[in-house]
Structures are given as structure tokens and as C-alpha cells.
Structure 1
């Protein structure tokens, strides 16, 4: 069984909110891979969720949750002025 690193580079810290959003998407994809490790089954399921509005909304919610966690870890990218 393949070991999946769920937090790339073992850090939630990013330089910008854009990088944080990209990390959130990557982490959401890794959750799917960890939940369904069989690549052939994931490939077959893509057509199912690609055509189901509720599943697409659920994916968006997963990314939003990951992004909220990353934003908090980055102190919401506050800069000292």
C-alpha cells in the first residue's frame, strides 16, 4: 500500500493566500486519494461526480475547509504595517 503524505512538505505555511488556496486544492485531492487509493476506481468515478452538482459542491466545501485551516495557520497573511 502506498504511503500518502497528506500535508505536502509537512507545512501549512505559504507566502500568499493564492499559494494557500493551491495547497488547499492539493490537500483535498490527497484526501480523495487516501480515501480511495485505487486509481482505476477514482478514474471511473470522475464522470459520476463531474456531472453531479451536489458532489461538486461537496468538493468545494472540502477545499474551503482546508483553506480555512491553512489561512489560520498563516495568521490570515497579516503583515505588520
Structure 2
């Protein structure tokens, strides 16, 4: 297993929904990097998914799943009225 840290800072806490969404994108990218650790192969594959709408939708679904997890961990930001 890689020494790649899959949860940056070992926390899903985010001050705002925007920060949570950014963390979700980062987590999705880290999963891809873990799944395909070869930088060159990932660059080669980028050309494949860049022109495939279904693959791009799948990427969006992965980020959405990560964001749902982060939002739940942050109690949907209800505890932080200043973030509304």
C-alpha cells in the first residue's frame, strides 16, 4: 500500500461548504492517484476521458460521493451559522 495520505490532515472537517467541496475534489483525485500510481499512464489516460462525456459524468459522481461524506462529517455546516 502506498504512503499516500488519503485524508489530508487526517480530518474531513471544513469551515464552509466551499472548503468541503474543494476537499471532495482533492479526495477524488487522491483515489485516482492511488488506483493508478504511474504519472505517465494517468497523463495518457487523460486524453481518453477528456473526450468521453460518460467518463466525465462518472468523475462528477465520484466527487459528489466524497462531498456527501464530508458534508455529513461536518453536520452539513449547521453548527456553524457564520458559514451561511
TM-score (normalised: structure 2): 0.91
In structure 2, distance between residues paired with 1:14 and 1:80: 10
Alignment of 1:60-71 (within 5 A): 60-71=60-71
TM-score (normalised: structure 1): 0.95
Alignment of 1:2-81 (within 5 A): 2-79=2-79
What's the C-alpha RMSD, in Å, of the aligned pairs?
Answer: 1.5
**1-10 or 12-21: which moved more?**
1-10
- Total equivalences in the alignment: 81
CA contact (8 A) 2:13 2:70 kept: yes
In structure 1, distance between residues paired with 2:79 and 2:29: 30
